[in-house]
Structure 1
């Protein structure tokens, strides 16, 4: 059998309707979801509120499973159960968010491969694929895309349901609109250190709008040194639903590292997060042993693993 040559992630290719491309690429197994699928999609997301926080938050904001407005708007793909279903809703067994990121939902390796074939056929340029490990790695393999920056195959997913016993870091609080410039600098420093490239490479205005939105929503938390007025610690709630909060962007200013701030800072973040939802989760690179140990000291429990493919 002739081996298939890997392909780069394509530039976006316009198509009046993605339905035909998806159906042909998957033999009719995958379809583009519509507004009528919203209720069924909510049920699927509710089966794994910790693993599905990002997509659940996006669906909550959009209010519908239908394709968004605009040529490059995100869409949702779905696979139905093979057996007939007598209920009012189709029984979705898995789904996939496809926008600037690709996020499989409730997918096993077999269904994830179908989503990978659909993503390849739709020819959308993406910045990452992330989510539960088995699904992400199978989906990525099925795309055949080769020009990825990095595959982070093991990222422990961790969760807390109760306030930490550890004393929280004093002074952690929501950032203020007038602190935008300092928060932006801290976020950009963390992003560059974590991913190895600037967040502005993918659009400066979009990145700044994202930070402003987090500040306005009260989802950006910081601690500030009273003397220098520098941000010493920060974190954000990247996704928030009624069932779970997912923390992102945890960062300690290099000038304050080695002082034991990470764990107490996260204790404060968890306390804030539990005011918004009954679960606070995060995922962390498997090689970052100090961070994992710090989260375990706070009280985070392991809840499986994520993988991320960066482009």
Structure 2
């Protein structure tokens, strides 16, 4: 996958690559995009959170800032504006929204034409795999085609792990080490490969927002359990980075730790979701014991 080329308008590139089927969204599309995201609050949490922070579906400043692409209904609706039927976030990650296999192919062609360097493609499985195939990109690290998406709407019945709390700014170094250990173990490469400063700022932001949760051993002061809310909206929060310190594994911390995370998450939104690799059977069983229910399948392509 080549580096992004800024030499031409993204609108022209997208139009030519997709025969006019895909367009770059503008600020006037913001309300329509919100409506599309609300149709699947669990599946679209990350894009909804990004849009909430960004404030508009239109282009933001910066040569490599994220674009939002859209596809309108083939037949015009009754209103003055076209009906947005699917969309795609295209930044350091690519995330299809409301896309099926066919519309995702159009987004893949647009992404190929825009020549963006991305770290992943993720979202609902059918759309992600179809989009990735259409890009023709072959430099990916791994395709994780089956990742159960799970959700909870109510507090767990099991007793939460005592001591789970928001991490503090002065604990940044310890939290960073735990996050990096989890990332490397989970993905097989260092998070710093995609930019150390950006990764550290991301962790600082989670801590400052109160979205980094940890449990600390009172004797050693080491983090024994951690998780983050990677995306937070009024409709849902998405948990990421669930990790039990290897020294404390096998002591039954995962499920009660997640029970504590869910309790806190439900104070922020009516739904708490996560996705997990299908081969990670122990994690899936732990989430099911907490009370998570299956809500579809995600896929992730890693670069």
| Coarse TM-score class (shorter-chain normalised) | over 0.9
Task: Determine the structure 2 residue equivalent to 1:262.
Answer: 254
**How far 1:12 moved relative to its partner?**
1.6
Contact 1:39 1:89 survives alignment (8 Å): no
Match of 1:185 among 165, 177, 184: 177
- Runs of 4+ more than 2 Å apart: none
Aligned: 1:218 with 2:210: yes
| Count of residues in correspondence between the two structures | 303
Whether 1:125 and 2:94 are equivalent positions in the alignment is no
- Describe how 1:88-103 pairs up with structure 2 within 5 A: 88-103=80-95
Q: Is the 8 A contact 1:37 1:90 kept in 2?
A: no
Runs of at least 5 residues in structure 1 that lack an aligned partner in the other structure: 1-8
Query: Alpha-carbon deviation of 1:143?
Result: 0.2
Tell me, yes or no, if the aligned pair for 1:263 and 1:294 is still in contact at 8 Å: yes
Superposition deviation, residue 297 in structure 1: 0.2
- What's the offset of the Cα at 1:10? 1.2
C-alpha distance in 2 between matches for 1:140 and 1:33: 21
Residue from 41, 48, 53 that aligns with 1:56: 48
Equivalent position SS for 2:117: coil
> Please, which of 31, 41, 49 is the counterpart of residue 23 of structure 2?
31
Which of 271, 276, 280 does residue 279 from structure 1 map onto? Answer: 271
Q: TM-score, normalised by structure 1?
A: 0.97
Counting only pairs closer than 5 Å after superposition, residues 80-159 of structure 1 correspond to structure 2 as 80-159=72-151
Identify the residue that residue 6 of structure 1 maps to in structure 2.
none
Superposed counterparts of 1:40-79, under 5 Å: 40-79=32-71
**Do the aligned residues in 2 keep the contact of 1:22 with 1:122 (CA within 8 Å)?**
yes
**CA shift for structure 1 position 261:** 0.3
1:310 Cα deviation from its structure 2 partner: 0.2
- Give the conservation status (yes or no) of the 8 Å contact 1:40–1:90: no
SS at match of 1:107: coil
For residues 196-246 of structure 1, what are the alpha-carbon distances to aligned partners after superposition, in whole Å with 9 as ceiling and x for unaligned?
010011111100000000000000000000000000000000000000000
- Could you say what secondary structure the match of 1:239 adopts? strand
Q: Residue 301 of structure 2 aligns with which residue? A: 309
CA distance in 1, matches of 2:128, 2:259: 30
Q: Structure 2: give runs of 5+ residues left out of the alignment.
A: none
Match of 1:17 in 2: 9
Aligned residue for 2:240? 248
* 8 A Cα contact 1:40 1:89, kept in partner: no
Partner Cα separation in structure 1 for residue 5 and residue 197 of structure 2: 23
Aligned ranges for residues 152-167 of structure 1 at < 5 Å? 152-167=144-159
